[in-house]
Amino acid sequence: MIITKKRYLQGFFAVVVLLALVRCVFPGVADVRREASASTAADKAVGEGGTDVKPVCAGGRGNVASGGCRDGQPACGGGGIQPSTALATFFNADGTPRKSRIYSVSSFKGVFPDSNSVQMAAARRYGVSPVNDRTEAEHRMKELVYMGSNPYYHVDKLNSSIPYLVPRAAVLLQDIGRAYFDSLQVKGIPLHKLIVTSVLRTRDDVAKLRNRNGNATENSCHLYGTTFDICYNRYKTVEDPDGPARRMVRNDTLKWVLSEVLRDFREQGRCYVKYEVKQGCFHMTVN
């Protein structure tokens, strides 16, 4: 059968009119299709390694370091907040700031039990060979990264160590600082920087420490550039020179938030953590 151009056009317009009537009578049909298309596109992006649809969360129960969702919050790696989810992370649907509860951990010693012997295996695996003194350290800079204070953490005045880490540990410290900021933000707590109190130690540093402190170990994880200490009883307030004065925040509150972040990093398998009572710090080694 031969279809003339006139009949073809008549049939085409008839289909268009029919679809328009269906759209008017059942307006939800197009919405369902759009949602399905969006879902398919998101699944495809995730399957191809896309990051624009990756769910992101911030600190505490479901923070940036978390490997799984808690309390209905999305989870993610430590790679930062993606633009498509930033508003959903920090704000509710009505635009009001999103607040999360502070949970802390059940037991600092129980949750962070990783002893020096446990951390040593990771230190030897990922670290540099021990540095004898600070003169030798100057010639090892190709293996180490300088760790000065930055927007996420503050490096304390170091008397028994020098501010260098292997790149793997440097990334870990940076991610912990960012995740901590995210946690404070969603919990409505003024921003405070973490304070790093110890980083890479030379053999000379360890020997001097042992002279002052008999409990200091000779085979320290700090020798390998994989280990750092974060103080849990002191924090550096981030001041806004043009804003109102910061309200006082208890160090215990900041410690509880920090413990949530470190727990999630440890559960994700990125580090080992030891809760040090006498030194007042979390002693950790990259994994």
Residues 199/163, Cβ–Cβ less than 8 Å:
yes
**What confidence category does residue 239 fall into, taking pLDDT thresholds of 50, 70 and 90?**
confident
**276/109 Cα distance (integer angstroms):** 8
For the chain, the C-alpha Rg in angstroms (whole number) is 27
The answer to whether residue 83 scores a pLDDT higher than 60 is no
* 147 part of a folded domain: yes
Q: What is the pLDDT of residue 7?
A: 62
Instruction: List Cβ neighbours of 128 (8 Å cut-off, separation of 6 or more).
Output: 140, 143, 144, 166, 224, 225
Please give the share of the chain, as a percent, with pLDDT higher than 90. 46
Written as six digits, the tokens of 258 are 């920090």
pLDDT exceeds cutoff 90 at 109: yes
Full residue range of the structural domain in which residue 214 is found: 108-286
Which phi and psi angles does 279 have, rounded to 5°?
-85, -10
Residue 179 has pLDDT above 80, yes or no: yes
Least confident piece of the model among 102-111, 198-207, 256-265: 102-111
Q: How far apart are CA 180 and CA 157, in angstroms?
A: 22
Averaged pLDDT score across all residues of the chain: 76
Residue 187 belongs to a domain: yes
Q: Is residue 13 predicted with pLDDT exceeding 70?
A: no
263 lies in a domain?
A: yes
The domain total for the chain is: 1
* Contacting residues for 97 by C-beta, under 8 A, at least 6 apart: 90, 91, 188
Q: Is residue 145 part of a domain?
A: yes
CA–CA distances in Å: residue 79 to residues 64, 82, 164, 174: 8, 9, 22, 10
Looking at residue 8, what DSSP letter applies? H
The pLDDT assigned to 90 comes to 60
27-77 per-position pLDDT tens digit: 554 444 444 444 444 444 333 433 333 333 334 443 433 333 333 333 333
Please report whether residue 39 resides in a domain: no
Q: What is the 3-state secondary structure (H, E, C) of 257-281?
A: HHHHHHHHHHHCCCEEEEEECCCCE
**Is there a domain that residue 90 lies in?**
no
State how far Cα 120 lies from the chain centre.
Answer: 24
Percent of the chain with pLDDT over 70: 64
Q: Distance between CA atoms of 231 and 265, rounded to whole angstroms? A: 17
Query: Residue 223: what pLDDT?
Result: 95
Residue 180 belongs to domain with CATH number: 3.30.1380
The pLDDT tens digits for 181-221 are 999 999 989 899 999 999 999 999 999 888 876 656 778 99
Q: Where are the strands (E) in 90-248, listed by range? A: 145-146, 153-155, 164-165, 192-198, 227-231, 236-237
- Is 138 within a domain? yes
Tokens 């951990």 belong to: 105
Provide the whole-model pTM. Answer: 0.66
Note whether residue 5 is domain-resident. no
